[in-house]
Structure 1
Amino acid sequence: MTERFRIRLAAALGTLALAAGGAVIAAPAAHATGSECANLIAGSNPGRSSTDVNISCTVGSLGITKVSDAGCNTLLTQLSQVSAAKAASACTAARN
């Protein structure tokens, strides 16, 4: 396992843990799904891994304002190597 991959994996798992903890505390009703977000990312690059994008978009759709936005953006830009602009658009789609 390369060092860069370990750093990305640690960031992704840490963000996911924060998002899950926030979901338990706030327990909002999640109205959005991550499908709009995942479709936006997949449309720009069909060969991209769907697992990490789906996790990122699911975090973005949790409905916990700061945690969902930060988690979605961090996972997409750091783990999935999506541009910041594309990640922001996709996370907004997940939230709505």
Structure 2
Amino acid sequence: MFRTVRSRVVAVMVAVAAALGGLVLAAPTAQAAPSDCTSYLAENGYSTTDTNLACTVGGTGLPLDSLLCRLLLTNVSAVPPAVAQNACSLAKS
């Protein structure tokens, strides 16, 4: 059952990413550092494709980037909320 829920969450996030794709292409270049986010997560034992995607989303500079970053990390990658908050903050620096 967990696998089904996870696959649905991933499908929703892919749909959101696809919908925002045009916005990402049109967004101005941000001074974000997704690599700081992924490094922080790796130091805390979280290093997957999902975490890389979350950090990339978190560094886009779009209005809901931090929220989407935290949602991906906590709901898809099972990262604790405090760690997710710090990681997503690093993606914006």
Measured against the shorter chain, the TM-score band is 0.7 to 0.9
Q: Distance in 2 between matches of 1:55 and 1:39?
A: 13
Task: Check 1:9–1:95 CA distance in 2 against 1; reply closer, same or farther (3 A cut).
Answer: same
Which residue number corresponds to residue 31 of structure 2?
A: 31
Which residue number corresponds to residue 90 of structure 2?
A: 93
Which amino acid in the other structure matches residue 34 of structure 1?
Answer: P
Which amino acid in the other structure matches residue 29 of structure 2?
Answer: A
- What stretches of structure 1 of length at least 5 have no aligned partner? none
Query: What percentage of residue pairs aligned between the two structures are identical?
Result: 34
- What stretches of structure 2 of length at least 5 have no aligned partner? none
Give, in angstroms, the shift of residue 89 of structure 1.
0.6
Residue of structure 2 aligned with 1:75, choices 72, 75, 91 = 72
Task: Check 1:19–1:36 CA distance in 2 against 1; reply closer, same or farther (3 A cut).
Answer: farther
Give, in angstroms, the shift of residue 11 of structure 1.
3.1
Alignment TM-score, normalising by the size of structure 1: 0.81
